[in-house]
């Protein structure tokens, strides 16, 4: 059962990372097109700044879980490695559990904020893109991060012996 859960979350995280990669390419293409239009036609693409911001929001929200899955985040282990392996495991458990609780709370509150913004009908200034779906994207990205953290917690505690 754990293996199926792990594989599913890894697939979701990898899929989300692919979305992030597409966003990077779209930002690059949009910026090149905007600069080209400014140079050649003396006119910019309307809302470029907003669209780039939205693409970055999607990119970061989509890639954060994959980064955690691959341990791509900054990990301060200099002091922790000086402790015995059992203490290291306890510290890792505390860190993972607190991260799961913290990010679960953040995701919940982000969904609530998205609902609030939806009722207000807020949209971006220039392109008039509704902002609540973007807030939901952030919340979903954080949920996938929580799922990855749960996997890491399970795998940490399923290891045999004193190997980290």
pLDDT in tens, 77-101: 777 888 898 998 998 899 999 999 9
Tell me if 31 is assigned to some domain. Answer: yes
Tell me if 163 is assigned to some domain. Answer: no
Tell me if 116 is assigned to some domain. Answer: yes
Tell me if 72 is assigned to some domain. Answer: yes
Tell me if 48 is assigned to some domain. Answer: yes
Tell me if 137 is assigned to some domain. Answer: yes
Q: DSSP secondary structure string, the chain?
A: -HHHHHHHHHHHHHHHHHHHHHHHHHHHHHHHHHHHHHHHHS-PPTTHHHHHHHHHHHHHHHHHHHHHHTT-S----TTGGGS-HHHHHHHHHHHHHHHHHHHHHHHHHHHHHHHHHHHHT-B-TTT--BSHHHHHHHHHHHHHHHHHHHHHHHHHHH--TT--
Tell me if 59 is assigned to some domain. Answer: yes
Tell me if 152 is assigned to some domain. Answer: yes
Which residues constitute the domain of residue 128? Answer: 2-158
Domain count, the chain: 1
pTM of the shown model: 0.87
pLDDT in tens, 97-118: 999 999 999 999 999 999 999 9
> Which of 37-41, 73-77, 115-119, 133-137 has the least mean pLDDT?
73-77
């Amino acid at each position: 059962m754990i293996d199926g859960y792990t594989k599913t979350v890894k697939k979701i995280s990898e899929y989300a990372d692919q979305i992030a990669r597409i966003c990077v390419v779209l930002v690059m293409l949009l910026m090149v097109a905007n600069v080209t239009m400014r140079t050649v036609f003396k006119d910019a693409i309307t809302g470029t700044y907003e669209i780039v911001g939205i693409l970055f929001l999607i990119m970061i929200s989509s890639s954060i879980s994959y980064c955690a899955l691959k341990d791509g985040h900054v990990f301060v282990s200099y002091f922790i490695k000086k402790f015995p392996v059992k203490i290291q495991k306890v510290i890792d458990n505390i860190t993972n559990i607190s991260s799961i609780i913290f990010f679960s709370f953040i995701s919940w509150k982000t969904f609530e904020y998205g609902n609030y913004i939806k009722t207000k009908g807020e949209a971006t200034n220039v392109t008039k893109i509704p902002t609540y779906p973007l807030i939901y994207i952030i919340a979903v990205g954080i949920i996938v991060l929580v799922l990855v953290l749960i996997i890491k917690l399970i795998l940490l505690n399923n290891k045999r012996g004193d190997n980290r």
